[in-house]
Amino acid sequence: MTNDNIILSFQDLDIRFTLRGQVLNAIRSVSLDVYRGESLAIVGESGSGKSVFTKSAMGLLDANGVIAGGHIWYGGRDLTTFTREKEWLTIRGKEIAMVMQDPMTSLNPLKTVGDQILEAVLLHQDLRGEAAKKAAVQALAAVGIDDPERRYKQYPHEFSGGMRQRVVIAAAVACRPKILICDEPTTALDVTIQAQILDLIKALQKKLDLTTIYITHDLGVVANVADRIAVMYAGDIVEVGRCEEVFYDPKHPYTWALLSSLPQLGVKGQDLYSIQGTPPNLFHEVLGDAFAPRNPQALNIDFVERPPFFEVSPTHKARTWLLDPRAPKVEPPEHIRHLRQKGGYPHG
């Protein structure tokens, strides 16, 4: 931890799951720095490991998952050395909080929303009794819920999906965390509500000086909120860079494929682009570039040796042999190169 600006740092992290006697390499030696105050988006398809990756920083892996190697640095401590719940309780909520995907199920149906926010306040803010209750009511007001005094006493089923997600955010923020992980925060919501929730998180981030990590497969969300993007594929980060770098100057073939799949880039009358094949089976060792079997332009070396990170700019790097000086020149697909002309970011 040399750089003061790095709040959370993953180093060569390996995460394995044991499923029916087989070992699945969910995260394969991944390194990533998260900067203080930034908004980072981790994008990737289902099963790419983006959720597992961030959960490991809160000690919330399922019982059959273990951190098999690497480090997670936070505040000068290596979180991978934590074994007891007591140690994790100094991180969960207090330092890193989380907003989950489905607001319909992430609140206890038998407790008032007030109680569920109060629970966080009592644990993480030095308040008791009336003062704590007041803080919980304020938390409700802060996420834009009208008449918070009355709403405090209501149960989750009396709230709509978007309102429940606001409550979940209020509970997470009431922990006073430094980092807020938003795991697909808008996936389960109505399109009209999605933008409101993202705006709310953005506003809270600014107000409370939060670092936010979004986990999503929706590039529209990413374009809206992210300063930086990390593209994840088959348990590995294949490209990371500033938002405009990844959108306008993508280097990894998987990022190309991902961007090509945007429906906004489709031409009327033509089939939408889809990536051929399926992600590799992580029960087996992945040789070379995990994306090579699905990449029609893969080089021979892609099947043999895992590419290192090549730096494109100080803030942009990608794990692809195409960036090696000896590699043949392969251009990204035409329509991606014109993404900038097509009216900027693809808004979802």
**What are the structure tokens assigned to 77, written together?**
């401590």
**What are the structure tokens assigned to 132, written together?**
């704590």
Q: Name residues whose C-beta falls within 8 Å of residue 81's C-beta, 6 or more positions apart in sequence.
A: none
Closest by Cα among 314, 330, 312 to 248: 312
Q: Which residue has the tokens 């190697």?
A: 69
Nearer to another protein among residue 52 and residue 91 (C-beta): 91
3-state secondary structure of 70: strand
Binding mask 57-76 for another protein (x = CB under 8 A): -x-x--x-------------
3-state secondary structure of 195: helix
| DSSP structural state of residue 308 | -
| DSSP structural state of residue 188 | T
3 binds another protein (CB under 8 A): no
21 binds another protein (CB under 8 A): no
Bridge partners of 6?
A: 35
- Member of 171, 193, 204, 210 binding another protein (CB under 8 A): 171
- Member of 172, 204, 234, 238 binding another protein (CB under 8 A): 172
Nearer to another protein among residue 85 and residue 271 (C-beta): 85
Nearer to another protein among residue 122 and residue 323 (C-beta): 122
Shortest distance, position 175 Cβ to another protein, whole Å: 6
168 binds another protein (CB under 8 A): yes
Q: Which stretch binds another protein (CB under 8 A): 29-37, 44-52, 95-103, 197-205?
A: 95-103
238 binds another protein (CB under 8 A): no
- Alpha-carbon span 260 to 219, nearest angstrom: 11
Shortest distance, position 130 Cβ to another protein, whole Å: 21
Nearer to another protein among residue 182 and residue 240 (C-beta): 182
105 binds another protein (CB under 8 A): yes
Tell me how many residues contact another protein (CB under 8 A).
31
Shortest distance, position 182 Cβ to another protein, whole Å: 12
- Member of 20, 110, 126, 129 binding another protein (CB under 8 A): 110
DSSP string, 137-173: HHHHHHTT-SSHHHHHTS-GGGS-HHHHHHHHHHHHH
**Segment 127 to 166, residues that bind another protein, using CB under 8 A:** 155, 157
Q: Which stretch binds another protein (CB under 8 A): 55-63, 216-224, 241-249, 328-336?
A: 55-63
- Member of 120, 163, 237, 322 binding another protein (CB under 8 A): 120
Q: Which stretch binds another protein (CB under 8 A): 111-119, 241-249, 266-274, 298-306?
A: 111-119
End-to-end, the C-alpha distance of the chain in Å comes to: 36
Q: Which stretch binds another protein (CB under 8 A): 4-12, 24-32, 88-96, 128-136?
A: 88-96
Q: Name residues whose C-beta falls within 8 Å of residue 239's C-beta, 6 or more positions apart in sequence.
A: 229, 230, 231, 246, 250, 251, 252, 254, 255, 317, 318, 319, 320
List C-alpha distances in Å: 272 to 12, 20, 160, 260, 268. 36, 38, 34, 9, 9
List C-alpha distances in Å: 103 to 111, 131, 210. 15, 27, 21
180 binds another protein (CB under 8 A): no
87 binds another protein (CB under 8 A): no
3-state secondary structure of 32: strand
Residue at 76: amino acid letter = G
The residues that touch another protein, with contacts defined as CB under 8 A, are 58, 60, 63, 85, 89, 91-94, 97-98, 100, 102, 105-112, 119-120, 123-124, 155, 157, 168, 171-172, 175
